[in-house]
Structure 1
Amino acid sequence: MNLSMQRLVLCGLLMASGASLALTTERIFQDARIVDEERSDDRHYLLPLGRVKYDRSLGRDVPARYKRMDGEFEAIVWELTGGEPLPEAKQRIDAHLEDPRFELLFQCQSRDCGESFAWANSVFEKPILYGNDRSQNLWVIKDVGAQVYHVFYLVERPNRRKYLYEETFKVPDLILSDSVIKEALERDGYLILGEIPVNAAGAPEFADLIERLKPHVKAVPPQLLVIHRHGSANQVPMLEPLRKALAQAGIEAQVEDLGNSAPRPHAPARAWLEWVDPEWQP
């Protein structure tokens, strides 16, 4: 099967299955060749957020920092066949990921990433990605406003062949209903409504969250909405903009901003909004 036919078949399969993989590599490197692909609709996933190292308690190599998630997983191994040198390949990826639609979560290169052998065989489980430690580059990014994560691993092998591993992981959105909201508030005392995205102008955007709230405020009137955030999101004013957005939508609720005083390991982003039952007791 030639390269053009291979791509047509792959794209058709992804579209038919409802896959979310954007085939980013194909847009950056038009001469790239698919070497391996994998897809799972239900996977427990570790998003790498640090260099790889040996964990004695687990008995294997894992990222020094990671985030556990469950959702849809897709991956493709590409061979870069266009003849571009490694520095140029890295520059192309850097330029693509500067798009404001993406948020960079982690990046490393060369030996700062750890051992290429560990990434290839233990983390990604793709032995073909084992290359020179000094040639490796890793990017971990997130789609702004969605729980869609991407991992890119660029490496050159001793035979000078260059490979790019493209991994996409999507956490499905919680489908809200009156019963789902009531059950979550009764069981946990809170419900994560979603990410508070910050636009290119540095302002928070609440439109999507307001639309999620609207259908349910009559059956389950929200008593308390809480803003959580950390990192760079702490510098963005959010409390008054949210109050204004709620008032414009005709939604009455108390609003608080807890900043980073109540972190959650499964938080969707650097800033998120929770629907809280203020009277809940465990």
Structure 2
Amino acid sequence: MKLLLITAVFIFSGFVHAAELSLEPYHNARILFQSSGETDDYLFALGSYKKIAGSWRLDRQQRLSGNLTRYTVELPEGHSASKGFDFYLDQLQNFNLRELFHCNGRDCGTSNSWANNHFKILQLYGLDQFQQYGAYEVINADAKPFYVALYAVQRGNKRVYLQLDIVHVDRVNEQGIAANPESIIRALDSSGYYVFPDLLTGDAQGVMTINIKPAHLQALVDVLKSRPEWTLAIVGHDYSPVPLAVQQKNSHAYAEQLKTAVQEAGIGADRLVSYGVGGLAPAGKGDRTARVELVKIYRQ
């Protein structure tokens, strides 16, 4: 089966080929536009379009540089915008995916803003109530993530169009690109856990710690402030090739590090509890050597 593969290398036969991020194209969809090349100023939407001082503007955004691959497709007749959106999102979930923002219908703002101001593709101008947008981060082994913008809309003539923009960044944002707090809340409500996005780093002596970026920490603090009734378990995982007791000690240290940072940001200690399970929960490991998860727990 042919795959839609994203990279900075080349395009042929209507498909983009790349290392590490492969997506199957929507069956019988018609590709209207496609392009691939370097960008130093891609506007990555991390929020809705809202009317500010008389004009429609994004309430949250990030500028990215790297290789940008873009696809505009028309779905077959009778296929809905939500079906097209879910088709690509389901595939993205096979990777180490983190939702940064999602909106649906009129909560996204006006379709005109997305079509003409943001993507600058007039075919994407449709009905506000039949639109959906998502912003995602895909972590891969080289530590330079992919950022994915996915937009789907139905026009008044029932035709459905989908935009897929993927940026493989050329450098890692040192401050971090945080998820919208509502996305974190949705993950905790729906699945009961959320993987904290920061990666492990080692010092000259080989001591490993998690690199807590300010934006990610603030998003977590905002979640806890907006949900004062919540208590979270911070669960560390370690998959290094060492005895289980050492894994558990290391993973608990990762959890304690994040717990301390959250407390120092103003969250009470009674709302957080830390655990280290070592390598005993390998599901969801992916290519990570370690991870820290936030798990929603219930008070007695």
Q: Give the alignment's TM-score, normalised by structure 2.
A: 0.55
Q: For 2:122, which of 116, 120, 127 is the aligned residue? A: 127
Partner of 1:159: 157
Identity of aligned residues (%): 23
Measured after TM superposition, the shift of residue 49 of structure 1 is: 1.6
Q: Distance in 2 between matches of 1:130 and 1:194?
A: 28
Look up the match of 2:46.
49
For residue 37 of structure 1, what is the aligned residue in structure 2?
34
Instruction: Please give the secondary structure, in 2, of the residue aligned with 1:71.
Output: strand
Shift, 1:140, TM fit: 1.4
1:138 to 133, 137, 148: 133
Q: Which residue identity lines up with residue 9 of structure 1 in the other structure?
A: S
8 Å contact from structure 2 (residues 39, 65) kept in 1 = yes
Deviation string, structure 1 residues 20-78 (Cα, Å, up to 9, x no partner): 76445x0xx2111110123331321222121113444xx86432111233322221101
Instruction: Give the conservation status (yes or no) of the 8 Å contact 2:79–2:160.
Output: no
In structure 2, which of residues 234, 238, 262 is the aligned counterpart of residue 237 of structure 1? 234
How much does 1:89 deviate?
3.5
Instruction: Tell me the distance in 2 between the aligned counterparts of 1:204 and 1:173.
Output: 22
Deviation of 1:152 after TM superposition, in Å, equals: 0.9
Give the Cα–Cα distance (whole angstroms) in 2 for the partners of residues 240 and 20 of structure 1.
Answer: 24
Change in CA separation of 1:160 and 1:193 when aligned onto 2, cut-off 3 Å: closer
Which residue of 53, 56, 76 corresponds with 1:81? 76
3-state DSSP of counterpart to 1:160: coil
Find the partner of 1:149 among 120, 126, 147.
147
The residue correspondences of 1:210-249 to structure 2 (distance < 5 A) are 210=201, 213=202, 217=204, 227-228=212-213, 229=217, 230-231=219-220, 235=232, 237=234
Question: How much is the aligned-residue C-alpha RMSD, in angstroms?
Answer: 4.7
1:111-168 alpha-carbon deviations (Å, 9 max, x no partner): 1111101100001111111111111111111114652211111111122211110011
Aligned length: 220
> What CA distance in whole angstroms lies between the structure 1 residues aligned with 2:194 and 2:211?
18
Contact 2:152 2:162 in 1 (8 A): yes
* Higher alpha-carbon deviation: 148-157 or 229-238: 229-238
Higher strand fraction: Structure 1 or Structure 2?
Answer: 2
Contact 2:82/2:132 (<8 A) preserved: no
The runs of 5 or more residues in structure 1 that have no matched partner are: 1-6, 175-190, 249-254, 263-271, 274-282
Q: Aligned to 2:167, which of 160, 166, 169?
A: 169
CA distance in 2, matches of 1:35, 1:258: 48
Contact between 1:60 and 1:122, CA under 8 Å: does it hold in 2? no
Q: Which protein has the larger Cα radius of gyration, Structure 1 or Structure 2?
A: 1
* Contact preservation (8 Å) 1:153, 1:166: yes
Per the alignment, residue 282 of structure 2 pairs with: none
Q: Deviations over 1:226-255 (max 9, x none)?
A: 53434279946378969x67x98xxxxxx7
Question: What are the ranges of 5 or more consecutive residues in structure 2 without an aligned counterpart?
Answer: 1-10, 179-190, 225-230, 240-245, 251-256, 266-290, 293-300
CA distance in 2, matches of 1:118, 1:134: 14
C-alpha distance 44-98 of structure 1, shift in aligned 2 (>3 A)? same
Cα distance in 1 between the residues matched to 2:103 and 2:27: 25
The secondary structure found in structure 1 opposite 2:13 is: helix
Give the number of the structure whose residues are more often helix, by fraction.
Answer: 1
